[in-house]
Amino acid sequence: MEKYLGIELGSTRIKAVLIDGSCAMLASGSHEWENKLEDSVWTYDLDDAVAGLQDAYRRLAEDYKNKFGEVLARLDGVGISGMMHGYLVFDENDNQLVPFRTWRNTITERAAAELTERFRFNIPQRWSAAHLYQAILNNEPHIGRIAHMTTLAGYIHWKLTGRKVIGVGDASGMFPIDSDTNNYDAGMLDIFNSLVGFKLENILPQVLNAGDNAGELTDQGAKLLDPEGALFAGAPFCPPEGDAGTGMVATNSITERTGNVSAGTSVFAMIVLEKPLSAVYTEVDMVTTPDGKPVAMVHCNSCTSDLDAWFGLLGESAAVMGAEFDKSALYTALFKKALEGDADGGGLLSYNYYSGEPITGLDGGRPLFLRNPDSALSLANFIRTLLYSTMATLKIGMDILTDKENVKLEKLLGHGGLFKTTDAGQRVMAAALNVPAAVMESAGEGGAWGVALLAAYAVKGANESLDVFLNRVFANQASSLVCPDPRDAAGFAEYMKRYKACLPVERAAVENLR
């Protein structure tokens, strides 16, 4: 039996999945972790990343042994996915120079603005190039010692294979990609190099495309992944990819007029374009699919964190009264209750900002809940409002694509935690973005399954394109489709009027609540 392993290091969970030759699930395992705010910087410790990787794999191996009665010893392919962007730099002896600065930080405003102006191409604050240039502008002492820069997926891949490479989709969140060459844009590299006085390409990882061989599991990598020593070395790897790209693969959204929305700690939409955008928008990133097609990305830093916090409080309240339930049952009940609420949320308003949000021009975040004295405060309206807040900022960015650029979408595929419980998240997305929303049975597996598919494609798909390979995989995938409910769409539009009008209140909270 063929076995392909996919591992994704997400913002709150490290997920490992094992699939067979037909790309069906065999086993899974996961490990929960969380970012930390240290010295005003959002970060993860790389030792925690390795420990979480090992724990997720251990749980997967146990699941496999329980199901099949044998030890997991050999793999036919492996793929690593991770949160895109951020700043991971190392010296010539492979020592980490500064703590990992993640996508969640909004500390590179000057650098991002200057690079955007010089490139005439949007460079968001979270991109690796912006972090590097900001560190140079800050005269940080480690700059002269940088020998290698990568992403989280690139780092884990390097530790398992010894190769400093990256998939083109993940690379497109570090520095702009030329889709004609599927490599870093040469003209923009020249501009950057003239600003900093060294060759950026000398410290960037090598770019590979979907289907390329990206190395093999080394003896050291096998021991790192499986300290118990049961796993053999030698399994081939696909290029390491970002969570945006593997989410596109996991929803079969890599061809023109397709797109997906990933909704977890952050929320982002990935829209494969038929033609280039007519202008530069700071609200829209230009990245690529894992096979190099241009993609418009609308990324928002906050999605479910505030909802999770409120659900935790509601669960604690129920427990005080003696109720017994698990987390899944709580979410299911509250999501269902939201569908009973008023279409506009009863006049309630929620900002879910845990960190800065460039789309709305905020360099910090303060979770905020507002209402008028005569607003219809009920549990159903409260939960509906929390759900609306997960899509509100995304809506602002998506309107640029649909209204200004006339981008056409037949449907959007949803995946991630927001879509695992009932159909409430799906209904809200359809109403918010005014486009049919589909969710597949695999929606909760997300990028880990997506990168396992890429691992299988690197081994099995030599004679066909990635989209042909995926169309075969998804031929029998069950999915549900929800069209926008006119009442919900009108209600969300009313909610957005309040949301935009009260953004100065959120700004005041950021400026004054310390």
**pLDDT tens figures, 82-138:** 999 999 999 999 999 999 999 989 899 999 999 999 999 999 999 999 999 999 999
Cα distance between residue 172 and residue 252, in whole Å: 19
Q: What sign for the dihedral angle of Cα 351, 243, 157, 291?
A: negative
Whether 334 and 383 have beta carbons less than 8 Å apart is answered as: yes
What's the confidence (pLDDT) of residue 444?
A: 54
**106 contacts: CB under 8 Å, gap ≥ 6:** 125, 126, 301, 355, 356, 357, 358, 362, 363, 364
**425 contacts: CB under 8 Å, gap ≥ 6:** 263, 335, 387, 390, 414, 418, 419
pLDDT tops 90 at residue 307: yes
Alpha helices, DSSP H, located in 138-277: 152-161, 168-171, 186-196, 219-225, 243-250
Whether 348 and 382 have beta carbons less than 8 Å apart is answered as: yes
Give residue 350's identity as a one-letter amino acid code: S
Q: Which two tokens stand for residue 450?
A: 């997506």
Residue 338 CB-density burial (10 A; 0-12 exposed, 13-18 middle, 19+ buried):
buried
How does strand 77-82 pair with strand 4-9? parallel
Under the banding of pLDDT at 50, 70 and 90, the label for residue 445 is low
What's the confidence (pLDDT) of residue 118?
A: 97
Q: pTM value?
A: 0.84
Under the banding of pLDDT at 50, 70 and 90, the label for residue 203 is very high
pLDDT tops 70 at residue 385: yes
What's the confidence (pLDDT) of residue 442?
A: 59
Alpha helices, DSSP H, located in 173-301: 186-196, 219-225, 243-250
Q: List domains and CATH numbers for the chain.
A: 4-250+443-476 (3.30.420.40), 305-440+485-512 (3.30.420.40)
- Give the chain's mean pLDDT: 94
* CA torsion, ordered 216, 220, 222, 227, to nearest 10 deg: -170
What does residue 22 show for φ and ψ, rounded to 5 degrees? -95, 5
Cross-strand bridge partners of residue 241: 81
pLDDT tops 70 at residue 443: no
Mean pLDDT of 285-300: 93
**Helix, strand, or coil (residue 269):** strand
Under the banding of pLDDT at 50, 70 and 90, the label for residue 145 is very high
Under the banding of pLDDT at 50, 70 and 90, the label for residue 159 is very high
Q: Which two tokens stand for residue 511?
A: 């400026």
Mean pLDDT of 430-438: 93
